[in-house]
Amino acid sequence: EEAVARTAMFAGDHAQARALFDTCANGWSGKGRRCRFYAAFNAVLTGDTADARTRLDAIIAHDAGLRSAARYWRARLLSTEDPESAAADRAWIVAHAPEDDWYGTLVRTGFGAAPIGSGPLLHRGRWPDVAVPPPRPAEATLPGVRPSASPPWFIPARPAPRAEPRTDIPWPAALTADEAQSRAHTLARAWSDRSPDLAAAVAMADHGLRDDAGPLLSRALSELSAHDARAWKEVSPRDRLAVLLHTGCHHDLVRHGPGLTRALGAEPGPHITFPIAHQQTVWAQGKAHDVDPYLALAIMRTESLYDPLAVSYAGARGAMQIMPRTGHLLADRTDDFGFTVAALHDPDLAIAYGVRYLGLLLDRFDGVFPLAVAAYNGGPHNVSAWLDTLGPDMPMDVFVEHIPFGQTRRYVRKVTAVYAAYVDTWGSPGARVMVPPRALGDDPSVVDF
């Protein structure tokens, strides 16, 4: 039922899609809640304001998990007829939606309406000092929404954002940097017999090699969890957090750092929740391939949680979760004759290949990063097919709801929201992500794998 409803929606028959989604909107299972939301979404697209508002009101009242989504589309529906209510919905989303929420990101970045708290610096997927392209002449709108004389999403070119993370963000409140280093040394000495890799990781971090120390410690912790799990859990939260912070073990820091920090009576800060992982490689490759490093970090976080040893159920490997075939094709482009699939677990190589591939996808889709992100997950040929059916002038927020693959739809939402969170946290004060209003071009000759 849901698949048939999605087919009707994808074909543009929104009235039929609304009726079909109603047939599978029973109960409070994931499927029922999802169908209820998409029935309301299709009511929005039919221009049936009264029915759409009734449906969205009911979701807002009874479904906390979809409240942000329903308020977003109610605001889009009412932006002309009831601008005060629309503004109230957007303000609620800003105040209540999590920082990694797609709809909250759309509102905070000003998509489809005047931005709340505008800033001068823009991140659009490319290396930050690339100029903002001019807007397209036509403005597609939702049914019943009048085009404005000056498109609300257009922001003229401003000074370029900084190309390095901010340095004025305080260290996590639970520890000082000096204390973290001291405790990491003490722990390494105590565990040197059982885990030489732990001691080696701490020593590497002392010499500034944190990009290598983190993955080494991650491997050491995996071995400890397998063989000395009980003893490792008896190590104090302060000592465990210290060694994670000092070595830059980002995968385990994001997994365990928040709990360890709260055990010390503090809240986790950005060094723990949105760490700058593998900075030297990410920044160098980002500049080389015209990719915003914060977008690369968002991809890495969503794909593997920065884990260089990750292997997906489909066989994707490494921190950037590159499929073996994609790795071989990228190796062919760079004359890397010694490439092996195992090399994708080397974070330097994996990040270099992943950022290069992302840069090619941005080139293919004229820098429209949500399409490049969708292609990274679902394949560029599928994104091209969707564009051919839906048309290039569909607003980006509407396009994302139409993506047929549930995994890719969620992936685009997640990566974009994490990208915005990275920019908000580490970018220049006032910097923000600009979600492109719609697709621009599609050149399969750039990359077609």
Tell me the catalytic residues.
Answer: 303
Is residue 16 a contact partner of residue 8, using CB atoms and an 8 Å limit?
Answer: yes
What are the contacts of 180-183 at 24+ separation with CB within 8 A? 180/241, 180/242, 180/243, 180/245, 180/246, 181/205, 181/206, 181/242, 181/246, 182/242, 183/238, 183/239, 183/242, 183/243, 183/246
User: Locate tokens 């029935």: which residue?
Assistant: 39
Residue 416 neighbours by CB under 8 Å, 6+ apart: 102, 105, 298, 369, 370, 373, 433, 435
The dihedral built from the CA positions of residue 43, 47, 48 and 49, taken in this order, carries a sign that is positive
| Residue 432: strand, helix, or coil | strand
Is residue 20 a contact partner of residue 8, using CB atoms and an 8 Å limit?
Answer: yes
Residues 157, 121: Cα–Cα separation, whole Å? 9
Residues 352, 358: Cα–Cα separation, whole Å? 10
Residue 97 neighbours by CB under 8 Å, 6+ apart: 68, 103, 104, 107
**Nearest alpha carbon to residue 369 among 335, 417, 322:** 417
**Nearest alpha carbon to residue 80 among 138, 143, 38, 137:** 143
CA atoms within 13 A on the CB side of 253: 26
